[in-house]
Amino acid sequence: MSDLFEEKAQDWDVNNMVLQLSSGISRAILNNVKLHADMQVMDFGAGTGLISGHIAPEVKKITAVDISESMLQQLEQKPELQGKVDTVCQDILEQSLNQKFDIIVSAMAMHHVEDTAKMMQRFAEHLLEGGELALADLDKEDGTFHPPGIEGVYHDGFERDELEKLMLDAGFSSIKFVTAHTVDKEGKEFPVFLVTAKK
């Protein structure tokens, strides 16, 4: 599988839009989910660990999952995440992890996954009973957030009610949406939601 983020990985953490987005999403997660020091967390589509960096001080361990080796290599070089975050370069839709978590967090990764229903089922399988989801991504947009013809983007954001139905079908309850952040890009606004739910 080719690493679509190989070139972007080097400069990812100095991209101002990326930093603002990850900061806004992290703040929304911390405000909407009760984290504690015994928690085992999966960061799905963890990238360079920008979300993990905000969450790590509050929890016991984070397993950072991504299909981009180059992004995870950037994460592994961060001294503040040493010993707190393990990286796994794996597509969990193809092959599950042999582990269950208290919470799964994700930021701007879901639109890179073609089969959203299968992804929700996988999340349910990887959560302990009573575990939580905290997932952030774009609200449905007109297709101008990403450059035309970009590889690896399967959804122009998500309709909240459609996503809620897929989550209900996967066995989730207490589903709640908030707007976590709004990206201002070339004069257009793109709202980003955080959805939380319980297994």
Q: Residue 177's beta-bridge partner residues?
A: 195
Residue pair 48/74 in contact by the 8 Å Cβ criterion: yes
Residue closest to 50 by CA, chosen among 5, 105, 98, 90: 105
- Quote the Cα angle for 52-39-170, to 5°: 85
What's the predicted TM-score (pTM) here?
A: 0.93
* pLDDT attached to residue 7: 57
Structure tokens at 113: 């996954």
Q: What letter represents residue 67's amino acid?
A: I
* pLDDT attached to residue 1: 47
* pLDDT attached to residue 163: 98
Domain spans in the chain, listed from the N-terminal domain onward: 6-198
Contacting residues for 100 by C-beta, under 8 A, at least 6 apart: 40, 126, 127, 128, 131
Residue closest to 129 by CA, chosen among 163, 101, 165, 169: 101
CA distance 96 to 122: 8
How would you write the pLDDT of the chain (199 residues) with one tens digit per residue? Answer: 454 555 565 666 667 888 899 999 999 999 999 999 999 999 999 999 999 999 999 999 999 999 999 999 999 999 999 999 999 999 999 999 999 999 999 999 999 999 999 999 999 999 999 999 999 999 999 999 998 888 889 999 999 999 999 999 999 999 999 999 999 988 899 999 999 999 9
* pLDDT attached to residue 153: 93
Query: What's 111's DSSP letter?
Result: G
Domain 6-198 adopts which CATH fold?
Rossmann fold (3.40.50)
